[in-house]
Amino acid sequence: MKTLLIIDVQNDFMPNGSLPVPYGNEIVPNINAIQDKFDLIVATQDWHPRDHVSFANNHEGKSNFDEIKIHGVPQTLWPDHCVQGTEGAAFHPDLNTNKIETIFRKGTDKTIDSYSAFYDNRHLKSTGLAGYLKEKGTSALYLCGLAADICVYFSVRDAVKEGFSCFFIEDASKALDTKAFEKLKKSMVAMGIKMVTSADIL
């Protein structure tokens, strides 16, 4: 089964959001255009409690994008974003959500961050996504969304470890740090991930 995984296409990651990904809104038409080419479509949402450990506001004397250690693991401190139930956590209004069969929410545990769609950052808890996709018979997994260098990258990495044949849709994803992402793309290719565009799918 050919599956599309749409990662965190949420208002707070758009140009006017609290944690904007440059030109993040430009991926929405490309995601909409390819949806008919998939047997199964699944999406994720960042879904943080307001007192989440990754928010700089919850650490006295710290600023956005500072790095600290939590449980011995490096943690970037982010602006408050995708707080449960807020408009910022909602999908971009132009994203076609009618064909999304299931939504997996991540980052719900206030004590640990969760970039990957599959696991929290310490790999302590599974979201259940891998089991769901395997039960559905997913053979080829196409990933896209925001941000390409963070949540999409960590999701792709875990998807490969879970044994899925992975495709990264370049023009349906945008990175927070485009220079850093160029290096990550090389590591993705080395993992066996195939780079495609929406035109290749259409």
Angle between helices 178-190 and 153-161 (to 10 degrees): 10
Partner residues linked to 41 by β-bridges? 4
Dihedral angle computed from the Cα positions of residues 178, 181, 183 and 189, in that order, rounded to the nearest 10 degrees = -130
Domain boundaries, the chain: 2-201
Instruction: Please write the tens of the pLDDT for every residue from 59-86.
Output: 999 999 999 998 888 999 999 999 999 9
Could you say which of 3.30.930.10, 1.10.15.40, 1.10.3720.10, 3.40.50.850 is the CATH number of the domain covering 2-201?
3.40.50.850
Check 8, 12, 149, 158 and give the catalytic one.
8
Check 46, 106, 174, 185 and give the catalytic one.
106
Instruction: Please write the tens of the pLDDT for every residue from 99-145.
Output: 999 999 999 999 999 999 999 999 999 999 999 999 999 999 999 99
C-alpha 112/C-alpha 148 separation (Å) is 20
- Four-residue CA torsion sign, 140, 142, 148, 152: negative
Residue 195 contacts residue 168 (beta carbons within 8 Å)? yes
Question: Is 151 one of the catalytic residues?
Answer: yes
